[in-house]
Amino acid sequence: MNTAPQRGSAAPRTRRWTRAAAVAVAALTAAAGAFAATQSASAQTTTITVAVNGNDANPGTVAAPLATLQAAVNLAQPGTVIQIRGGTYAPGTNVQINANGTAAAPITMRAYGSEKVIIDGENMPYTPGAVDSSIPRAQRGALHVEGDHWRFENLEIIHGPYAIFAVDSNSNVYDGLITRDNYESGLHIQGASSNNRIVDLDSYGNRDPRKNGESADGLAIKEGSGTGNTVIGARLWNNSDDGFDAWEFLSPIRIEDSLAWSNGYNHWNLPDYSGDGNGFKMGGGDDDLPADHVVVNSMAWKNSAHGFTDNGNPGTLHFTRSTAWKNGKTGFDVDSSTSQLSANLALNNATQVALGSSSGSGNSWNIKSKWVDADLRNTSAGVITGPRDSGGSIRSTDFLVPKNYTIGADFR
């Protein structure tokens, strides 16, 4: 099992400057507002501090912090920043996040400075649940989110009954999170949920013994609807089911600059293993209703099943400048949809593409019939799967970039 890549020190790539700058400006604005406030947990102030050596009878200042995340959440109002000192927090029940911030004054939960914060759900119920059991809705997630206008930044969440389970929640930002080794999906959003933004997520090693591996994804936005949900810079690997799953989510989701690899393999020796193993599962459902999802500049490799699949979604999906390499089934499996594909690269998959009624131009299969690894600049994934740069972005690399054609994903 891979360990969590750490933030590195290399400079962010020029190609990502616009996104990185926007995220940085937002973070600096939030930080300025938070630290300008006085250090108290009263209703008139905006910063609450939590520490492993705190006490919930304290006022929640840096000098006298609270002890539990739930106590801080219970005090939060629009504009509050909950800053968590370094250490491991292992509550016996999940953290219920139901209050709302506002667009002008979101509520923020983040690590204090550069300190490392781990939220460990191992002591919570359903870690794991019994085989064939169901987790009650309120107990899903080490962080259970039903509030709007929250920001979650630079937290590591492990061993939970889901790491984060968000339902009917809107306009939240999940930035720089690690969700690993949970007993269900790492980050799961469902229901009436719109305008959520996932940035620079690393989600791996998630599995579900209660379902023999069939439902634990790295990232899932599923079983619901809501426009404006966006995924940027995610890395999703070694999850028991899929890297990304949009099962029965009926509004367009946009994914860009993201990676999914080595999903769908039984690293845990689960009996009767049934993980699907797609890199990016872009819809599908019992009724196969359409949803026009978008994937840009993303890669899927060495997944046990498809790299990218419509999974029965009959909509018009858009795949642009993306790469599928060495997947166990089809690189781009879009024969149930009317998808549009432009400048994508597929090679060394069991099958390169299944188009059906889908169409496009400038893809590798439109250019020539046979592609081999010698057509690529680099087939070593060490940089792209290694530490992120100091700004949280995936490091620059020519991994899987063709030597002579401008197609497929490019992380240079």
pLDDT tens for each residue of 277-317: 999 999 999 998 999 999 999 999 999 999 999 999 999 99
41 pLDDT higher than 50: no
Residue whose token pair is 């634990």: 216
CATH code of the region 14-375 = 2.160.20.10
Question: What pLDDT sits at residue 13?
Answer: 38
Question: What pLDDT sits at residue 39?
Answer: 39
Question: What pLDDT sits at residue 299?
Answer: 99
Arithmetic mean of pLDDT, 60-79: 98
* Residue from 300, 304, 305, 240 nearest 266 by CA: 240
* pLDDT tens digits along 191-234: 999 999 999 999 999 999 999 999 999 999 999 999 999 999 99
DSSP state of 250: -
Instruction: Please give the C-alpha separations between residue 58 and each of 42, 217, 351, 364, in angstroms, as whole numbers.
Output: 11, 39, 61, 62
Arithmetic mean of pLDDT, 156-175: 98
Determine what percent of the chain is predicted with pLDDT higher than 70. 89
Question: What pLDDT sits at residue 35?
Answer: 37
Question: What pLDDT sits at residue 40?
Answer: 39
Contact 172, 149 (CB under 8 A): yes
The residue annotated as part of the active site, out of 281, 302, 326, 329, is 281
139 pLDDT higher than 80: yes
Arithmetic mean of pLDDT, 33-60: 70
Question: Using CB atoms within 10 A of its CB, is residue 75 exposed (0-12), middle (13-18) or buried (19+)?
Answer: middle
Question: What pLDDT sits at residue 18?
Answer: 41
Question: What pLDDT sits at residue 249?
Answer: 98
- Strands 253-256, 294-296: pairing is parallel
Where along the chain do its domains lie?
A: 14-375
Question: What pLDDT sits at residue 42?
Answer: 39
Per-residue exposure over 107-117, b if at least 16 CB sit within 10 Å of its own CB, e if not: bbbbbbeeeeb
Question: What pLDDT sits at residue 1?
Answer: 45
The pTM of this model reads: 0.90
Instruction: Tell me which amino acid residue 349 is.
Output: N
Contact 215, 241 (CB under 8 A): yes
Residue whose token pair is 């969700």: 179
Contact 184, 215 (CB under 8 A): yes
CA distance 21 to 16: 8
Arithmetic mean of pLDDT, 43-54: 83
Q: What is the mean pLDDT of the chain?
A: 92
Question: What pLDDT sits at residue 38?
Answer: 35
137 pLDDT higher than 90: yes
Pick the residue with more confidence: 109 or 4? 109
* pLDDT tens digits along 5-31: 554 433 333 344 344 444 444 444 444
Question: What pLDDT sits at residue 32?
Answer: 39
Q: Is 281 a catalytic residue?
A: yes
Arithmetic mean of pLDDT, 359-378: 97
Question: What pLDDT sits at residue 10?
Answer: 37
Dihedral sign computed on CA atoms, order 195, 142, 180, 78: positive
Pick the residue with more confidence: 18 or 163? 163
Q: Half-sphere exposure of 120 toward its Cβ, with a 13 Å CA cutoff? A: 10
Question: What pLDDT sits at residue 20?
Answer: 45
